Structure 1
Amino acid sequence: MAFNVRNTNKKYETAVLDHDVLRYKVINIQNLMIPMPDGSRLQANMWIPEDVYLKSLFTVGCVIEYLPYRTDVTILRDSTRHPWFAGGGLASLRIDMRGSCASDGVLKDEYLKQEQDDALAAFDWVVSQPWSNGNIAMFGKSWAGFNGLEIAARQHPALKTIISLMSSDDRYADDIHYRGGCLFASEMAWWGSTMGVLAPRPQDPRLVGEEWRTNWIQRLNSEPMVKTWLEHQTRDSYWKQGSINEDYTQVQIPVLAVGGWRDCYTSAVFRMVANLPNESTCGIIGPWVHEFPEIAEPGPKIGFQQLALKWLRKYLNPEEESSLDLPKLTAYIQHPTSIVDSYTFREGDWVSLNSEPNKSTNLPLFLTQEGTLSRDPCTLKKHVSGVLSHGLFRGTFCPLGFFGDFPADQRYEDSKTTTWDSSAFDDDLCLLGEPIMRLCLSSNKKFANVTVKVEDIYPHNGEIVLISWGQLNMTHRNSDELPEWLEPGRKYDVEVRLDVVGIKIAKGHKLRVAISTCDWPQNWPTPEIPTIEIEKGELVLPLLNRNNQVSSPVFENPTIMKGIPNELVKPYGRSKTVSYDYSSDKWSLVDTHDSGCVKIVDYGELTGTYHGSWNQNNLTIKSDDPLSGFIENKWRYEMGRKADNWDIKLETRTTLHSDRDNFYLTQSLKAFENDDKVFDKVWDYTIKRLFI
């Protein structure tokens, strides 16, 4: 997570602009310290027109990106984006959250109320500055997309709009901790380990002086975030705080919600477009991974920086006339593409709708006893169980586009599931929206997890491409807040909601539904492997409703600004393997990311600063033993500056396993200054399983 800007696809390269193309000459103010009411300070970098900051010729609106990932790391990407906004006539402010980089304090958890309170105080500081016209916007991806929504719900009068990319409105049901009431095993453990190494990184002594070391020890001693996440296994007040779907009406300003079909948070775009009250709220979904659309793959990329600037100026400079009028939803309908080719580009078409997709426009397909998908309702009596090695070829939940991220050919997986295939389609079928699987079923246990996959079977080579999936912990069938055990043998009507789709199923292709009660490591296995009996099954596919289709916006070509000079000290590396040990009946998934190391060559006080990281995820399980699941996540992080003889290293190891009643979580943290160990601590927790 070094935040390098990847622009390596020569066929679909993003143009890099020099600063002389900007409307205004921009200056960069480094290491601003924004005061908080309690006396703490938040560190920030700002880009602003020179005519505003030095000459006071006019005032400007301010766009803010608010993150915990350190400005001395994200500067590599910040310098390609923030100058564009400033050169277009805004102040562009990148603020480090409390406990991050040179900001005071300790980063204790995600999305705390303190995080929102600090942002509101920063807004007060911004509007008090002589260069401010009193109007503020927020933008950001992932964490900064989440907190933009949460802060918008606090209704600060200066906040006029937000641009939220690859984010969610629901912290419990649509993030990387729990999904469908299931413990999202691989993602929670990995993200907990990630924050275990990122959160305790120290302040920079060049910026804060000798007090950095005292604060560093405080950061190192902070309890692991993952412990809190694992303690809250149901949708309680912990998750409701910050989830704007608790009350959409609190977000009254216009929201531009952006997602990607290869991202993990795209369903939230549909919900926000449908439920946020401001009529100008709209959504854009491209074929992209978890990245900004001007550099994201697979292509086509778009000129998102140009679009974002027009959106921001519309609301930050209301005295100007703006011709920008985006449709309610603009989405890229992907055409069939091989898995290998889909990493770089997806053929397809942009479509726009003047309202949310019509939920009544759908195609129902019914499960049959013979293993087919029928257009006619029917009943069946099908027993479905699972194999614990199912799910190892699912791909990365939150991909950045590296090879090995996307789901593999599902022929590797489907022999471990129960499947139903359609006949070949006589015509193209365009889908846009949320597929839903409705099931009438019973379980032989008081618990059951159900995973449903929808796949496209390619006729020319037999490749089976995953297009959507979802899962449900059956004890959460009525409520994520108040789960209930199943009564073995009793029939239940349930819905499994799958990831939204925007795709063309081409003439001659078939669809497949695959169902299993095991899905490692997407969900933590139930204490025993259940068998469910399905009596009815209806897959509801959302058809593209062309009756409310309007002209799509014409996107400009993708561009970024020329970033600060940097040196690649060590290149990126990635390996991902699945293996089986016959002697122990154990399956292993080992995913290793080496983010390399990058040094800042010329950027004020940060010149010579380097950051690099390496992490490995080891996930093992036996085919028929749900209590054998074991996850180990290891991280190494290095940072420092040779000129100051300042070299910092952090190492974490996080493990998670369980028995029938409890989870066992361990996280260790070691810290080194100039190769001298200064910290070594292990946290061990036993946490009761609650309906999982």
Structure 2
Amino acid sequence: MMRWNTSSLARMAVCLSLMLGLLGCSGDSEPPVQTTHYEFSLEQSTLTMKDGVQLAVTYYRPTAKKSGETFPVIMEMVPYRKDDFFVLSDYGYGAYFAKRGYVVARVDVRGTGGSQGSIPKSEYSQAEISDAEQLIDQLSKKDWSNGKVGMYGISWSAFNSLMTAHRKPPALKAIIAAHGSTDLFYNDVHYIDGALHIDSYAHQIDTDNSMPQSPDYRIDETYFKNRFDQEPWIFTWLRQQQDGDFWRQESTTFKAPLEVPAYLIGGLLDGYRDFVLDVGQSSKAPVIAEIGPWNHAWPEYGVPGPNYEWRQKAVRWWDYWLKGIDNGVLDEPRWMAFMRTGHSPATDLSTIPGYWRCDQQWPSDNSTKRYYPQAAQQLSLAPTAQETAQPLLYRAGTGMAAGGWWGEQTGDMATDDSHSLVFDSAPLTEALEIMGMPQVRLRVAADAPFYQWTVRLEDVAPDGKVSLVSGASINPSQRFSRLEPTALIPGEPTTLTASIHFTTWRFQPGHRIRLAVSNAQFPMIWPSPTAGVTSLLSGNSTWLDLPVVPTRNASDQACLLPQPEVDDAAPFGETLENNGPVFESFRNEKTGDSTFTTTSDIRWTAHGNEFKSSESYRWDVNDARPAHASYQGERNNLFTINGEEIALSAKARIESDDTYFHVTFTKVLRKNGELVREKTWADHIPRRFQ
């Protein structure tokens, strides 16, 4: 998933700060390495697959300084339309690496953007990964290539870089992956922790995939057949509500350990951050791993900071693996994570307090500290002598304070905690630092066959303000097997376990550690259908394990972090407006109604054409009628190409009841204001433990 509006806005803010001289960098810094850069050209071309489909590629190609000079190739393959939606943001990265002696090949996935073929049936299809293998082979054989290829990217292109690396194409020598995933069912954007998540991304990608092929934007029968008339992916994802072959086909967690060297980047406010640990601890090849404090973004502009210029190390990484330069990049600390110092909740921080921890490998001096929930909202180091049931009334609208997924900055969690079971430790007498994935075990009972559970790890300051540290959701139907879900037996206790998503945090003296437990995480998780009551049974079988590491000071080590560099601006266009995304939540305690909305719009020019995209999304639920939750959204793309307007709008609505999801999706295409085509898809999809 790529949340491009958030990332683009944050990136613009960072670039502005750099130009104004406002941005600093935590820790020691090194001046940029002075090099003689290459001139480069921007070239549009295609590469032909075995089935005859031509994939569109943009080359950022260095100009040789001497006769016969060849270059390694860095490939990125995504469906995010390199000729319009991503044309401006791609340029800075293509220029950066091309100027340092690398051919950058930016490819549109088949059936998207400028590439031929039909839209794949879903993300990360076998055809897509097979195409990646063929692309690597062809790129390695170009007369300007030295025969060595790397793959890189953020989000989607991190996913397929990992997947392609597991197939070990001979010319692929190394990858760089930021914000990826190894488990498409549990750690992607459709079923977070195994529970249904309806994200605006699903609407965005289904709309954008339906746009005409660039750069001609021809509207004809081939376009209708391959793009506009293709069923939206959201139906496919809703029909796959349980783990199985569909999700595991390319999920790398179920394959042999990685054998291609990988430079991994994660963010503590990103929903995919666990992948860094998954790959870093299992890989058979060398790994460099870095996790910073930001959201779904690259380290030089991610929010919040502190930021650094990761591309300097990326060039050294590529130099080592693709040019054979022994520069010592593997002799330096290979693991770096930002230790967040506990801070007040806020949604608008540009930087947060803390320091970088650098180690040669994953810290081995960590330990586990176990806490047990008890009566009177206490979190203790010892369990209760007798198991005690604590009732929890299910309020379906609980959870909005945590936002749309386990990421982004959050405000005070007290509003969510008021509808949860909360357990607080005694005020700490000394600082406690954690780094890793906390573990939780809950002994529970319920009055209906299906609920969801959510656990949140929080920091309670002396003034009562509550900061979110991390969290996780639990789908209890998968407690015995992800592949064979089973219902709860009403009234019968059962045990649930979960890993809370990777986090770092320094709990300050005087602060309290809080475990919050609820049956809802709206709108992140689709509400379960039955209004009722569950119970948490405190005792030996209910606990929280924290991954404790020894406290350090920033001065104890040297994490060398070069300051972010200002990107080369694309000479052929500019962003005219970028508003949002704006998130709003509304809760009526008297009626039990909860609403969450997000809106955004962006406008830009490129190569003399003008583009505009706007969107609005809304999620609703009522505590007394949780089965009847709903989502509705609209995305509008207006492209003015050579003076002609192409407008594509897509509206979606998902409504649930006790047994079905009722889904409609409508596409409307207009040219110069006149209707060209309209098509609606509708289905009633049975609920299966969601």
Tell whether the structures are fold-level matches, with TM greater than 0.5: yes
CA contact (8 A) 2:404 2:523 kept: no
Shift of 1:79: 1.4
Distance 1:570 1:216, change over 3 A: farther
Per the alignment, do residues 84 and 376 of structure 1 end up closer, same or farther by CA in structure 2, a change over 3 Å counting? same
The answer on whether the counterparts of 1:303 and 1:558 sit within 8 Å (CA) in structure 2 is yes
CA contact (8 A) 2:95 2:568 kept: no
| Stretch of structure 1 that moved more, 143-152 or 437-446 | 437-446
Question: Structure 1 stretch 367-376 or stretch 325-334: which is displaced more?
Answer: 325-334
Distance (Å, rounded) in 2 between the aligned partners of 1:396 and 1:580: 15
Q: CA separation in 1, counterparts of 2:396 and 2:294?
A: 30
Name the CA distance, whole Å, in 2 between partners of 1:339 and 1:269: 26
What residue number does 1:252 align with?
A: 259
1:541 to 536, 542, 546: 546
1:313 shift after superposition: 1.1
1:648 paired residue among 641, 646, 649: 646
How far does residue 586 in structure 1 lie from its aligned partner after superposition?
2.5
How far, CA to CA, are the matches of 2:35 and 2:111 in structure 1? Answer: 34
Structure 1: gaps of 5 or more residues: 400-404, 601-606
**TM-score after normalising by structure 1:** 0.91
1:500 to 499, 502, 508: 502
Q: Aligned-pair distance for 1:333?
A: 0.1
Instruction: Give the equivalent residue in structure 1 for 2:12.
Output: 7
Task: Check conservation: 2:433, 2:551, Cα contact below 8 A.
Answer: no
Letter in 2 for 1:614: S
In structure 2, distance between residues paired with 1:290 and 1:227: 25
8 Å contact from structure 2 (residues 638, 648) kept in 1: yes
1:75 to 63, 83, 87: 87
Aligned residue for 1:62, secondary structure, equals: strand
* CA offset digits 1:473-502 (Å, max 9, x no partner): 111112221111122222222212211111
In structure 2, the partner of 1:603 is none
State how far apart, in whole Å, the 2-side matches of 1:583 and 1:283 are.
Answer: 48
Which of 49, 66, 73 is the matching residue for 2:77?
A: 66
- 480-489 vs 165-174, which moves further: 480-489
Residues 12-40 of structure 1 show CA distances to partners (whole Å, capped at 9, x for unaligned) of 53799xx9976332222321111111111
Which of 269, 281, 289 lines up with 2:276 in the alignment? 269
Q: Which residue of 1 aligns with 2:201?
A: 191
SS at match of 2:654: strand
Measured after TM superposition, the shift of residue 102 of structure 1 is: 1.5
Structure 2 contact 73–150 (Cα < 8 Å) conserved: yes
Q: 2:226 is matched by which residue type in structure 1?
A: Q
Residue 143 (structure 2) aligned to one of 130, 134, 138: 130
* Aligned with 1:315 (options 313, 316, 321): 321
Checking the alignment, whether the CA contact within 8 Å between 1:4 and 1:76 is kept in structure 2 is no
Q: Indicate the larger mover: 115-124 or 140-149.
A: 115-124
Deviation at 1:319, TM superposition (A): 5.0
Identity %: 25
Q: Secondary structure at the match of 2:388?
A: coil
**Counterpart in the other structure of 1:529:** 531
Q: Secondary structure at the match of 2:127?
A: helix
Using the alignment, how far apart are the partners of 1:302 and 1:629 within structure 2? 42
> C-alpha separation between the residues in 2 aligned to 1:140 and 1:369?
48
Check 1:9–1:323 CA distance in 2 against 1; reply closer, same or farther (3 A cut): closer
- Which of 178, 203, 208 is residue 165 of structure 1 equivalent to? 178
Alpha-carbon distance in 2 for matches of 1:141, 1:269: 13
Aligned 8 A contact 1:144 1:164 in 2:
yes
CA contact (8 A) 2:43 2:61 kept: no
Counterpart AA for 1:666? T
Tell me which residue corresponds to 1:629.
629
Change beyond 3 A, Cα 1:311–1:572: same
| Aligned counterpart, 2:106 | 94
3-state secondary structure, aligned to 2:639? strand
Q: 1:57 aligns with which of 56, 68, 71?
A: 68
Alignment-mate amino acid for residue 431 of structure 2 = D
Aligned partner of 2:597: which letter?
V
Correspondence for 1:464: 466
* TM-score scaled by length of structure 2: 0.91
Question: Residue 234 of structure 1 is aligned with which of 228, 231, 242?
Answer: 242
Q: Secondary structure at the match of 1:313?
A: helix
User: 2:87 is paired with a residue of what secondary structure?
Assistant: helix
Deviation of residue 327 (structure 1)?
A: 3.0
Match of 1:592 in 2: 599
Out of 669, 672, 683, the residue aligned to residue 671 of structure 1 is 669
Q: Which residue of 2 aligns with 1:203?
A: 213
* Per-residue deviation, residues 434-467 of structure 1 (Å, max 9, x unmatched): 01111122222222211111111122x4221111
Which residue type is aligned with residue 429 of structure 2?
Answer: D
Relative to structure 1, the CA distance from residue 237 to residue 359 in structure 2 (aligned partners, 3 Å threshold; closer, same or farther) is farther
2:427 aligned with 1:424, yes or no?
yes
Distance 1:369 1:89, change over 3 A: same
Contact 1:367–1:380 under 8 Å retained in 2: no
Residues 319/520 of structure 1: CA separation in 2 closer, same or farther (3 Å cut): closer
Q: Distance in 1 between matches of 2:196 and 2:310?
A: 35
For 1:688, the equivalent position in structure 2 comes to 686
Residues 585, 456 of structure 1: alpha-carbon distance in 2 compared, 3 angstrom cutoff: closer
* SS in structure 2 at match of 1:475: helix
Compared with structure 1, are the counterparts of its residues 14 and 125 closer, same or farther at alpha carbon in structure 2 (3 Å cutoff)? farther
Report the CA distance between 1:577 and its aligned residue: 2.6
| Conserved? CA contact 2:182–2:252, under 8 Å | yes
- Rounded to whole Å, the distance in 2 between the matches of 1:263 and 1:12 is 23
Corresponding residue for residue 487 of structure 1: 489
Q: Please state whether the residue corresponding to 1:624 is helix, strand or coil.
A: coil
Q: Is the 8 A contact 2:346 2:412 kept in 1?
A: no
Q: Deviations over 1:267-322 (max 9, x none)?
A: 111111111221x1131000111011111121111111111111111100125444
| 1:138 shift after superposition | 0.7
Say if 1:592 and 1:452 are closer, same or farther in 2 by CA, change over 3 A: same
User: CA distance change for structure 1 residues 9 and 79 in 2, over 3 Å: closer, same or farther?
Assistant: closer
1:530 Cα deviation after fit = 4.4
User: Residue type matched to 1:462 in 2?
Assistant: G
Question: Which AA in structure 1 matches 2:231?
Answer: E
Q: Which residue of 2 aligns with 1:334?
A: 340
Task: Find the residue that maps to 1:103 and give its secondary structure.
Answer: coil
1:368 lines up with 2:374 in the alignment: yes
Partner of 2:518: 516
Could you say if the C-alpha distance between residues 491 and 357 of structure 1 is closer, same or farther in structure 2, counting changes exceeding 3 Å? farther
Size of the aligned set, in residue pairs, is 665
Distance 1:430 1:599, change over 3 A: same
Q: Amino acid of the residue matched to residue 680 of structure 1?
A: E
Task: Provide the rounded CA distance (Å) in 1 between the counterparts of 2:339 and 2:128.
Answer: 37
State the SS of the aligned residue for 1:80: helix
Task: Tell me by how many angstroms 1:398 deviates.
Answer: 7.0
Q: Which residue of 2 aligns with 1:454?
A: 457
Q: What secondary structure, in the 3-state scheme, does the structure 1 residue paired with 2:104 have?
A: strand
Cα separation, 1, equivalents of 2:14 and 2:611: 24
Please tell me whether the aligned partners of residues 180 and 476 of structure 1 are also in contact (alpha carbons under 8 angstroms).
Answer: no
Asked if 2 retains the 8 angstrom alpha-carbon contact of 1:180 and 1:471, the reply is yes
Contact 1:105 1:215 in 2 (8 A): no
- Give the equivalent residue in structure 2 for 1:393: 401
Instruction: Give 5+ residue unaligned stretches, structure 2.
Output: 22-31
Match of 1:121 in 2: 134
After superposition, the C-alpha distances for 1:40-96 in whole angstroms (9 at most, x for unaligned) are 1111111122116xx643211111111111112322112111112111121111111
SS at match of 2:480: coil
**Pair 213,322 (structure 1): closer, same or farther in 2 beyond 3 Å:** farther
Partner residue in 2 for 1:283: 289
Query: What's the counterpart of residue 611 of structure 2?
Result: 611
Residue from 415, 418, 423 that aligns with 1:415: 418
CA distance in 2, matches of 1:585, 1:449: 18
Which of 562, 568, 584 is 1:562 aligned to? 568
* Counterpart code for 2:565: T
Q: State the Cα distance separating 1:569 from its structure 2 match.
A: 3.5
1: CA distance, partners of 2:616 / 2:264: 32
Q: Alpha-carbon deviation of 1:360?
A: 6.7
